[in-house]
Structure 1
């Protein structure tokens, strides 16, 4: 019985984590690029644009996830047609993670040696060429490391989402473990989450080592 409950929940958690992380990377990538370009030391400094994006990212990052999920219920219902369930949980997970991804990519790009950028400029490289052919390849190991941390963070957030109807292991822990006083379910859920985090961390390290050669 335990396996019949936990295995589908593990699949739901993986689905939520991987899809929301992928969407967060796609959404968070572009503000990071604009911020790195418009930064005071960027390729095309623009203080107003940078400050606007900086404030938006900081505000979104400061929201507690539970509060964010509640605030986004109307938007989630508009996007997916419902506010509970695995698919619905992806919306707040994505929005909650995207600002974190933006900061990760921005920080990684800022770490790129300025001499490399100046060398590219001296060869007449355009802004897009400098970003996509010079800075991103140089920053890729740091970005991969940061995204690995994001994935692990999203695992924790997905468990929290399960507590308010998001599905996955968090939902099982609350409904079958806490509410039905099943300590074995709670224990098994915790073990699965720990194993999942370790597996995802190991995969991230493998990818990091490959791109860091």
Structure 2
């Protein structure tokens, strides 16, 4: 569209039609009228090329999802400071190198003007640092436990009839319980501050197990 400024209202004129063929996965255009100041065909061609680049690129949210899943596999604890910092347990350190290589490869293919940077450094393994990590774990565990409780309560209250969905959340609750055990071994103490949340979570897990097993039994009958 071309916009011309007027005294009362602006005037709009169509210069080209731009269409997307979902079947072919291509964008194309046809020129409606020329313009003495603009190369309409070239602008549309540039747009089509940029769209092709966009289709083959991962967006920030997609990359964030991949990286967050990897960090979760590392049992990483987000540090409550500005930026994105994580505590990585020492038994996962052998996987940090692969994570750094992933970031470096993403930065190599980065089309944004902001670089992707990752740095790792060792933290002293002493009582003070373990206490800091424990505090971060409490914050994370409480958030996740609350989220899982809300989801489990919704499945129960709504009368969910999908055993697969309930079993998926049963596994997530079990994973969180196992994560707590791993961190107790790392911190060399029991994480009693989250006992109330995990006790409630255990009850929800048991209720989901009873319901999913009942549904499986009915289907098998």
TM-score, structure 2 as length reference: 0.30
Q: Which has the higher contact order (CA 8 A, sep 6+)?
A: 1
More helix by share: 1
More strand by share: 2
